[in-house]
């Protein structure tokens, strides 16, 4: 019997995190969305304005029989720069912060241990927040499966494609 678990991860633009995890063995689905703020039912426009408190996130559903939460986090640390506060490349603002939104106490404990282990791979301090997940708001349909539907779009070609290549996913 399969055991499906979810991880909710913020590492810059959700299109990047979504594209990466869609290519990971054991991942069942990835939904782009928002969490960590106070606005109910936020829109992309509101989140991009930086006034909602929400981060762009990807909610990753994965099969524990094929990949562990710790392995998901190992990919997360490689997929973005967790040492830059509220920024990933040209994407700047609190909506692009690095964060792990934990679904339970076991994930929180594992995330803290993973962050401590990952720190050895970075010269600068990791600024990734580790917080309990409160409410996840799925992003609009136009933001789902974004890279797969828009790979020729400039942001995809110049930002996401190089990340996928770096991680050996293309």
Encode pLDDT of 8-18 as tens digits: 999 999 999 99
**Residue 77 is part of which domain span?**
4-166
Encode pLDDT of 104-159 as tens digits: 999 999 999 999 999 999 999 999 999 999 999 999 999 999 999 999 999 999 99
pLDDT at 170: 80
Encode pLDDT of 27-48 as tens digits: 999 999 999 999 999 999 999 9
Torsion of CA 33, 39, 44, 47, to 10 degrees: -100
Number of domains in the chain: 1
Q: Do residues 115 and 128 make contact, with C-beta atoms less than 8 angstroms apart?
A: yes
Residue 94 has pLDDT above 90, yes or no: yes
Residue 1 has pLDDT above 60, yes or no: no
Strands of the sheet containing 4-11, edge to edge, are 129-132, 98-102, 4-11, 55-63, 27-35, 137-138
Residues identified as active-site? 13
Q: Give the CATH number for residue 26.
A: 3.30.1060.10
Q: Which of 84, 85, 83, 132 is nearest to 104 (CA)?
A: 132
Encode pLDDT of 58-92 as tens digits: 999 999 999 999 999 999 999 999 999 999 999 99
pLDDT at 2: 64
């Amino acid at each position: 019997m399969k055991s499906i678990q979810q991880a909710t991860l913020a590492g810059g633009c959700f299109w990047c995190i979504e594209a990466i995890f869609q290519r990971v063995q054991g991942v069942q689905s990835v939904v782009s969305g928002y969490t960590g703020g106070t606005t109910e039912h936020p829109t992309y426009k509101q989140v991009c304005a930086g006034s909602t408190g929400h981060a762009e996130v990807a909610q990753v559903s994965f099969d524990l029989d094929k990949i562990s939460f710790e392995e998901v986090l190992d990919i997360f640390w490689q997929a973005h720069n967790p040492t830059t506060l509220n920024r990933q490349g040209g994407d700047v603002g609190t909506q692009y912060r690095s964060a792990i939104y934990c679904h339970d106490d076991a994930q929180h404990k594992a995330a803290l241990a993973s962050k401590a282990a990952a720190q050895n791979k970075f010269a600068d301090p990791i600024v990734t927040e580790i917080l309990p997940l409160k409410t996840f708001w799925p992003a609009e349909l136009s933001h789902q499966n974004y890279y797969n539907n828009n790979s020729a779009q400039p942001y995809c070609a110049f930002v996401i494609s190089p990340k996928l290549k770096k991680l050996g996913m293309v």
